[in-house]
Amino acid sequence: MALTTHLRAKLSEVADPARAPGMQAYMKSAMPYLGVAAVPLRLVCKAAFAGLTWPDSAAWQADVLAIWRGAAYREERYAAIELSGVRAARAFQRVDALAMYEEIVVDGAWWDYVDAIATQRFWTILQNEPAAMKEAMLGWSRDVAMWKRRCAILCQVKAKAETDLDFLYAAIEPSLGSTEFFLRKAIGWALRSYAWTDPAEIRRYVAANEGRMSALSKREALKNIGSVG
């Protein structure tokens, strides 16, 4: 509670209330904003979280969720996600943290929260516990919750040459015919990320799935490498 109270006070100090309505409208957020831009928010978090350590993963998760659940403003939820990624917590980025992240993903249910977790936190967990994390993400890829599916599709976007293509394609498969914009966009993003490493393979995949992929997914996948054929 002390950390949450301190954080809120520091965020309020750097807030520009005049910016808040526009930020809320842009993000289509029901939760109000204080009016804190990204750079000052990160600086506040860096100072507030400096020197923090935890005896175990449970204690770290409790602090992250205390900020997340107690948030009155969207920036406080961004701060919770920042806390989830501090260096002191790197050893805790393991499959047993997925319940915490699932709460954030399902409760937050919007791209600004979800993508930071999917592309950053989940990539670290994949590096720490690859077999268990892949199994968990394949489960998420078939979940009824659209944002969990998006996480499964995006969790390798930073992998580059380390990408497990079988895993990537398996995570995409359940959503390949989806009409959900955020799933179609995620498919294209994930494929485009690997296209920097192997453009020929992504052209092959898109051509092989021509009749199953949305135009959006195909366009995004091929954006930097040209059209099929």
pLDDT over 90 at 228, yes or no: no
CB of 164 closer than 8 Å to CB of 197 = no
- Could you tell me if residue 208 is inside a domain? yes
- Could you tell me if residue 123 is inside a domain? no
Bin 51: left if φ > 0, else alpha if -120 < ψ < 50, else beta: left
Q: How many CA atoms lie within 13 A of 63 on its CB side?
A: 23
- Structure pTM? 0.95
pLDDT digits (tens, 9 = 90+) for 35-91: 999 999 999 999 999 999 999 999 999 999 999 999 999 999 999 999 999 999 999
- Per-residue pLDDT, 226: 65
- Could you tell me if residue 170 is inside a domain? yes
Residue 229 sits in the same domain as residue 159: yes
- Could you tell me if residue 107 is inside a domain? no
Domain of residue 30, residue span: 1-92
pLDDT band at 3 (very low <50, low <70, confident <90, very high): confident
- Number of domains within the chain: 2
Residue 151 sits in the same domain as residue 75: no
Residue 81 sits in the same domain as residue 137: no
CATH code (residue 71): 1.25.10.90
Task: Give the closest residue to 184 by CA, choosing from 219, 142, 133, 156.
Answer: 219
Residue 79 sits in the same domain as residue 167: no
Residue 87 sits in the same domain as residue 142: no
pLDDT over 90 at 229, yes or no: no
pLDDT digits (tens, 9 = 90+) for 6-28: 999 999 999 999 999 999 999 99
